[in-house]
Amino acid sequence: MTAELISVGTELLMGNIVNGNAQFLAEQCAALGFGMYYQVTVGDNYGRMKAVIETALERSDIVILTGGLGPTEDDLTKEVCAEAMGMKLVEDTHTREHLKSFFENNIYKEIPENNWKMAVVPEGAFVLDNGNGMAPGLILEKEGKTAILLPGPPGELYPMFRQQVLPYLQKRQQQALVSRMVKICGYGESQVEDMLLDLIDKQTNPTIATYAKTAQVDLRLTARGEDEKEAEALIAPVLHEIMKRLGNAVFTTDEYVTLEMAVVELLKKKGLTISTAESCTGGMTAAKLVNVPGASNVFMEGVVTYSNEAKMRLLGVRQETLETFGAVSRETAQEMAEGGVKMSGSDICVAITGLAGPGGGTDKKPVGLVFMACCLKGRTEIREYHFKGNRDKIREQSMMKALDLVRLCVLEHS
């Protein structure tokens, strides 16, 4: 089964926004085992849209369209699809009621006349209620081809896809498909591939796909079977073998869990509190932890000690240490972490000091040199890294590795 994406919107052609919807839908289709060979972006123009939709329906089984479902004259996706598939437009009473109550509950005013346009649907379409906006989604089926029309705003598209389109597409798969995500920190993509070479080489069912991210590698295992049980049985031994080989480097097997969520969860489970002491990352690590809802249970405070004076006053780093070894050193990282525990009273402090560049590097201490330390109950683990890339990249890698260092320290020493 093949799927194709058509993104409709002048704002994409003008570069006003990045097409995050396309990435989301492409990843979802890959997880469903659909082949995807084309993605097309087109503007709100009847003729061009029609040509693009007809081509897509000819060469792909399922065409997923996003955008152009709103109430204005520019919004044409539904109309063009209906014509391309030879379907008549009719008013849908259910959607009319839905729109009416959406307006009453959210906008508190009379619905403008042109908005009723959104209650008109191609005859025979499955209507997907929009729980987060006005325009409903639609599924059109005709002569073995399927068009799925979804609203453009991600806050409407994502939940609609997960709650209504995904179950529909899963049913469309003749075979049951089971997918598992393995998220890894601590090894690069090629290291992971080396460690799993024999498994990757002989992969057919389940398939193993690697996704390289900043300081993180994701593996997606996908198995097909007659039913879910059979697919599960195919995936289980491979997953088990991968987990055995990668050990603690795997921080989650849950698709929706991020590294910071895994760290906060682990700290909660162990009843530990944490503080942060950052130099080159400038607060990114604290911000990442705080981004997890409920982080206040484990995260107490953080300091960004950019100047030496701040390192001494807020963390008790000794002037002698800074003068002898420098601000970017193993010794300073250690004193920052240990000072952070002392000052904050938290169980753990993770400290980061490094050179993110672009300036400031020397032969002995080049840009990309980063020290981090994690102090947990009197024991301090220190790491030295030589990161590559620009300032952003160095800081992001530092932040990820610092979070991972916390995770490993807690796993190994608490």
Residues 230 to 249 in contact with its own copies, rule: CB under 8 A: none
Q: Which of 86, 150, 78, 153 is nearest to 120 (CA)?
A: 78
Minimum Å gap between C-beta 227 and its own copies is 26
CA-based torsion, 95, 99, 104, 105: positive or negative: positive
Compare residues 163 and 248 and give the one whose CB is closer to its own copies: 163
CB 316 within 8 A of CB 342: yes
DSSP string, 67-96: S--SSSTT--HHHHHHHHTT--EEE-HHHH
Nearer to its own copies, 187 or 306 (CB): 306
Q: How many angstroms separate the Cα of 200 from the Cα of each of 16, 51, 55, 187? A: 39, 40, 35, 16
| Other Cβ atoms within 10 Å of 80 Cβ, number | 24
Interface with its own copies (CB under 8 A), residue from 102, 161, 299, 371: 299
The one-letter amino acid code at 157 reads L
Q: Among residues 261, 286, 370, 403, which is the contact residue for its own copies, using CB under 8 A?
A: 286
Q: Among residues 66, 164, 276, 329, which is the contact residue for its own copies, using CB under 8 A?
A: 276
Of 197-236, binders to its own copies (CB under 8 A) are 209, 211-212
Site for its own copies contains 257 (CB under 8 A): no
Name residues contacting its own copies, limited to 152-171 (CB under 8 A): 155
CA angle 282, 17, 83 (to 5 degrees): 155
Q: Which of residues 89-118 bind its own copies (CB under 8 A)?
A: none
Q: Nearer to its own copies by C-beta: 92 or 278? A: 278
409/378 Cα distance (integer angstroms): 12
Choose between 209 and 408: whose C-beta lies nearer to its own copies.
209
The DSSP secondary-structure symbol of 162 reads I
Selected from 1, 33, 39, 120, the binder of its own copies by CB under 8 A is: 39
Task: Tell me whether residue 34 or residue 251 sits nearer to its own copies (CB atom).
Answer: 34
* Sheet-wide strand order for 126-128: 2-8, 62-66, 145-150, 137-142, 126-128
152 with 67: CB under 8 angstroms?
A: yes
Q: Which stretch binds its own copies (CB under 8 A): 6-14, 144-152, 193-201, 229-237?
A: 6-14
**Is 250 near its own copies (CB under 8 A)?**
no
Q: Which of 334, 344, 397, 398 binds its own copies (CB under 8 A)?
A: 344
Q: Is 397 in the site for its own copies (CB under 8 A)?
A: no
Cβ atoms of residues 77 and 45 within 8 Å: no
Least CB distance from residue 5 to its own copies, whole Å? 8
Could you tell me the smallest distance in angstroms from the CB atom of residue 387 to its own copies? 14
Nearer to its own copies, 84 or 121 (CB): 84
- 349-368 positions binding its own copies, by CB under 8 A: 357-359
| C-alpha span between 231 and 238 (Å, rounded) | 12
User: Is the Cβ of residue 89 or residue 287 nearer to its own copies in the bound state?
Assistant: 287
**Rounded distance between C-alpha atoms, residue 55 and residue 154, angstroms:** 26
Among 284, 352, 373, 402, binds its own copies (CB under 8 A): 284
Pick from 129, 35, 122: which is nearest to 83 by CA? 122
Of 337, 352, 358, 333, nearest to 285 by C-alpha is 352
**Which residue lies nearer to its own copies by CB, 1 or 89?**
1
CB of 278 to its own copies, least distance (A): 7
Which one among 81, 264, 267, 314 touches its own copies, defined by CB under 8 A? Answer: 314
Minimum distance, C-beta of residue 18 to its own copies, in the bound complex (Å): 4
Per-residue CA distances from 130 to 71, 79, 136 (Å)? 14, 19, 5
Instruction: Give me the least distance between CB of 244 and its own copies, in Å please.
Output: 26
Taking CB under 8 A as the criterion, the residue among 42, 63, 215, 242 binding its own copies is 42
CA angle (392, 155, 222) in 5-degree steps: 75
Q: How far is the CB of 87 from its own copies (least distance, A)?
A: 25
The answer to whether 27 contacts its own copies (rule: CB under 8 A) is yes
- Distance between CA atoms of residues 119 and 105, nearest Å: 17
- Lookup result for tokens 């598939």: 85
